[in-house]
Structure 1
Amino acid sequence: MNYKAVIDAGYNSFRLSLYTVFPNNSFRLTASLKDYVRLGLGVSEGKPIPEENVKRAEITLRKFREFLDKKGIKEVKVLGTSAFRYAQNGPEVSERLSKTIDIPITVLSGEEEGRYSALAVINTLPIDEGVVFDIGGGSLEIAYFSQRKIREIYQFPLGGLRLMDKSPEEIRKEVRIALASLPSSKGVLVGSGGNLRAIAKMDLKLEGVKLNQIHGYTVSYERISKYSKILPSMSISERSQLPGIDTERALTIHSAAIVIKELMEILGKDSIITSAFGLREGVLMESEIDTVEKLREFWLEGLSYQFNVEPLTSSFENVLAETNDIIVATAFYFLQIMKASNFIDPYMACYKVLRELTLPGYRADEINLVTTICAIAKKFKKKYYNKVKKLIDKDTLLIKAKKVKEITDSYELGVRKW
């Protein structure tokens, strides 16, 4: 296996992510270790990182080192973020922790952190223009992009942990002052970071969406506004009882929700697209994938490698050219992979298995629709249609499902039989 590891030594948490890298340089997350070190707790501009925080970090990094040694992982990047940038003793702590993990820590500038996060988002979602933000424990990075290229990057000390002890009004005031000069933007608003992902998971459950896919999941301004009011009024214990929120995340999700709501108002956006990818994945990438078409094919190839199947993207291109329907072509491709993987029922495997994976290159509603079409291509059942009836009418769905069945039956391992 070709493994690469990235350690994100963040303001709030430290996470080791291990990726399997495929021949086309796409990848999947294979293992993840995380500790809420809270390195930046109590740190403000120019003040030192407290010794007790550094000792917690050392304990975590020793565990990470042991894991890497046992797995024989050699290619590792360790990234330091806002706690190292803000603290008066940041360089000394970086050097000390580098010795603990026996790997040099690269302390990123705010611009570098924002660029890597934006790169991961742009390279995993079918988006052309807009704003990407990444809200962490200590900082907020904002990147503007157009024609799938990053244009401008801004960084602010507005993280969830950094603001968690302030009142909602204090947070709102600080955010409004800091972000007042942000330029306007066309296009979408996309967010990354653990607090936003927790909000998206909670929203999925509360809205009754029968899908575990948060990548590309859209949360409306109305819902964010509601959460920004309700979450600060709840105790940590009460927040931790909400779906998708654990005790550690409950400490910071309320302040992050306020920041996100204020950012949406300042930019005039009525919804946020959630990204499951961010800084750690961005450092595995070199540059923006310049078209949505290339983006989708890149990750469809990666899906093939995940299932140990040769890429079948030429057949995907043929079906897309024939039908001019990305949903039909993608459902066909998924079914080809399931058939080649020797699932007894590829239609239900497509539906059940792929709804449980994070699939870059597509939005959550697209994955919902594609996998549902796989199931309906076998047999129409109302319970499947109910999951997508807000996205498509029944007659159109049945037409697409019939087409998928016809094309799937005419191919074997990406080769047309007749």
Structure 2
Amino acid sequence: MREYAPGRLQDVRPVAVVDIGSNSVRLVVYESLSRAPTTLFNEKILAGLGRGVGASGRLADESVAMAKAALVRFRKLCDQIGVFDIRVLATAAVRDAENGADFIQEVEAILGEPVHVLSGKDEARYSAHGVMSGFWRPDGLVGDLGGGSLELVDVKGKEIGQGRTFPLGGIRLEEDSGGDVAVAAKIASQALAKADWLEQGQGRDFYAVGGTWRSLARLHMTQTGYSLNVIDHYAIPATEALEFCRVIAHSELDTLDSIDVISKQRRPLLPYGAVVLEQVLRKVRPTRIVLSALGVREGLLYEMLSSEDRDKDPLKVACRELALLRSRSPAHCEELIVWTDRVFEALGIEETEEEHRLRKAACLLTDIGWRAHPDYRGTQSMSVISNAAFIGIDHPGRAYLALAVFYRYAGLVEEALSPRIRELASSRLMERARILGCVLRVAYLVSAAMPGIILRTSLFQRGDDLVLSLPQDLADLDGSRLRKRFFRLAKIVGLSNALTEVAQK
């Protein structure tokens, strides 16, 4: 029987994916099968199964032994965690090796589960679905760089377009080029030359998937002093990424600034990942590169969902889960969505579709800091939100959520506000975060975070006055503290006065 754990969702069962790649063998256990999957446990070993396959045609004995030892441990971990569904995937190295079938038999004996050896087409589809899972309405080309192959596929919303697999994985390219980066660049250029359909990505986003490309992005992020330590949705203008790739491909890695952020095991493949990305950028000519933390594994989970669950907004799903785990009343957070809809309409505050979506998410998160000391609720919530494992949201959106909840707790006090978070948000998002924070500060003094109260009130504009109307049985909630916050809200929306009144029956 599972121990009751208030910090975990109840009545859900963990699922696991064992991913046997050309470079790494990884176990990821997810808390549940969800539109916004949360990682419960994650471990990998760089077994290098793909190393030498191009030359010998076989998986090396040492790599096989390392992988099998890891899989024995992974099976035991799944039993301890109580995983009810284990999916096992194998990619290019196992697919291409002449002793791959023997290895698969041994893996199935260890794990007690069938191994799904992915074709290149399968890998491209799962990668595309991984990006669809992690991005809200993506539009561009997905590139998934592994150790043995590169998958490129077109995505737009929920539609998967043309795709293809190329023999340009980091390990394979290193071996095929004889360790010569210049030769590797020529191989990559020639492999992509005839794929004219890639030009459909011009002027759109390029979604980069895979450990080597994530390492490149981590290095770029560190060198540029970026404000947020979150890889998912990290975006680099294509022209800047192209120059960065040239530097990485033709430099002594150990002399590069901030190279210590990349593990020594990962570093040898960085130049080859940079070479491939450079050639892809030349061919595709996207506007920017956007990093995805989700790939094949999450694409598999996405395919396991019902069509109804696939249609859900992953950001709202994640925020509702956090509200359930951390707020005093999840129902009250839901009520705030409806109430702020009315308030923003009454105040004539225009929102784009994305801003409207973000405001709903902020309402769900607005009470997650209540257990902290009052002096630190704002800064603690800002830190949690800006670094949370959310998907379906870009970095300016994260900043908006973090700022809105910070202002809800701290008021419009800028001293404790992180300048690194503030610089991610546009002036427009900053303004809307400030307004929402002030609106929520009023709401919480009326409701005390309890459901069934706030929707019985109304807020509207009468001439130059901002009016908060309370029903007669809630008239005693009026007071100096509420009026002070309400007056501050009036000022920030450009009104001269704030009034509270009791509604007539």
The reply on whether 1:301 has 2:323 as its aligned counterpart is: no
Deviates more, 1:406-415 or 1:117-126: 406-415
Q: Do 1:214 and 1:364's aligned partners in 2 also have CA atoms closer than 8 Å?
A: no
The reply on whether 1:342 has 2:370 as its aligned counterpart is: yes
Which residue number corresponds to residue 22 of structure 2? Answer: 11
Which residue number corresponds to residue 57 of structure 1? Answer: 67
Deviates more, 1:282-291 or 1:30-39: 282-291
The reply on whether 1:368 has 2:387 as its aligned counterpart is: no
Give the number of the structure whose alpha-carbon radius of gyration is greater.
2
Deviates more, 1:408-417 or 1:219-228: 408-417
Q: In the superposition, relative to structure 1, how do residues 397 and 364 fare at CA in structure 2: closer, same or farther (>3 Å)?
A: closer
Which residue number corresponds to residue 200 of structure 2? Answer: 185
Q: In the superposition, relative to structure 1, how do residues 276 and 123 fare at CA in structure 2: closer, same or farther (>3 Å)?
A: same
Q: Do 1:4 and 1:18's aligned partners in 2 also have CA atoms closer than 8 Å?
A: yes
Deviation at 1:101, TM superposition (A): 2.6
Deviates more, 1:277-286 or 1:322-331: 322-331
Q: Do 2:170 and 2:273's aligned partners in 1 also have CA atoms closer than 8 Å?
A: yes
Q: Within 5 Å, which residues of 2 pair with 1:138-177?
A: 138-165=148-175, 166-177=179-190
What CA distance in whole angstroms lies between the structure 2 residues aligned with 1:303 and 1:149?
30
What CA distance in whole angstroms lies between the structure 1 residues aligned with 2:55 and 2:158?
34
Which residue number corresponds to residue 426 of structure 2? Answer: 392
Deviates more, 1:174-183 or 1:158-167: 158-167
Which residue number corresponds to residue 435 of structure 2? Answer: 402
What CA distance in whole angstroms lies between the structure 2 residues aligned with 1:159 and 1:170?
14
Q: In the superposition, relative to structure 1, how do residues 15 and 243 fare at CA in structure 2: closer, same or farther (>3 Å)?
A: same
Q: Within 5 Å, which residues of 2 pair with 1:182-261?
A: 182=195, 183=197, 184-186=199-201, 187-235=204-252, 237-238=254-255, 242-261=259-278
In structure 1, runs of 5+ residues without a counterpart are: none
What CA distance in whole angstroms lies between the structure 2 residues aligned with 1:128 and 1:164?
32
SS in 1 for 2:43: strand
The correspondence for 1:71, drawn from 60, 64, 81, is 81
Q: In the superposition, relative to structure 1, how do residues 127 and 45 fare at CA in structure 2: closer, same or farther (>3 Å)?
A: farther
What CA distance in whole angstroms lies between the structure 2 residues aligned with 1:336 and 1:370?
10
Q: In the superposition, relative to structure 1, how do residues 385 and 161 fare at CA in structure 2: closer, same or farther (>3 Å)?
A: same
Which residue number corresponds to residue 330 of structure 1? Answer: 358
Percent identity, aligned pairs only, is 22
The correspondence for 2:44, drawn from 20, 34, 46, is 34
Q: Do 1:134 and 1:142's aligned partners in 2 also have CA atoms closer than 8 Å?
A: yes
Q: Do 2:366 and 2:405's aligned partners in 1 also have CA atoms closer than 8 Å?
A: no
What CA distance in whole angstroms lies between the structure 2 residues aligned with 1:240 and 1:78?
38
What CA distance in whole angstroms lies between the structure 2 residues aligned with 1:357 and 1:340?
12
Deviates more, 1:379-388 or 1:129-138: 379-388
- The alignment's TM-score, normalised by the length of structure 2, stands at 0.74
Q: How many residues align?
A: 416
SS in 1 for 2:266: helix
What CA distance in whole angstroms lies between the structure 2 residues aligned with 1:124 and 1:104?
27
Deviation at 1:392, TM superposition (A): 1.8
Q: In the superposition, relative to structure 1, how do residues 236 and 268 fare at CA in structure 2: closer, same or farther (>3 Å)?
A: closer
What CA distance in whole angstroms lies between the structure 2 residues aligned with 1:237 and 1:62?
35
Q: In the superposition, relative to structure 1, how do residues 401 and 118 fare at CA in structure 2: closer, same or farther (>3 Å)?
A: same
- The alignment's TM-score, normalised by the length of structure 1, stands at 0.88
Which residue number corresponds to residue 493 of structure 2? Answer: none
Deviation at 1:168, TM superposition (A): 2.1
Q: Do 1:161 and 1:251's aligned partners in 2 also have CA atoms closer than 8 Å?
A: no
Q: Do 1:373 and 1:400's aligned partners in 2 also have CA atoms closer than 8 Å?
A: yes
Deviates more, 1:370-379 or 1:11-20: 370-379
Q: In the superposition, relative to structure 1, how do residues 317 and 168 fare at CA in structure 2: closer, same or farther (>3 Å)?
A: farther
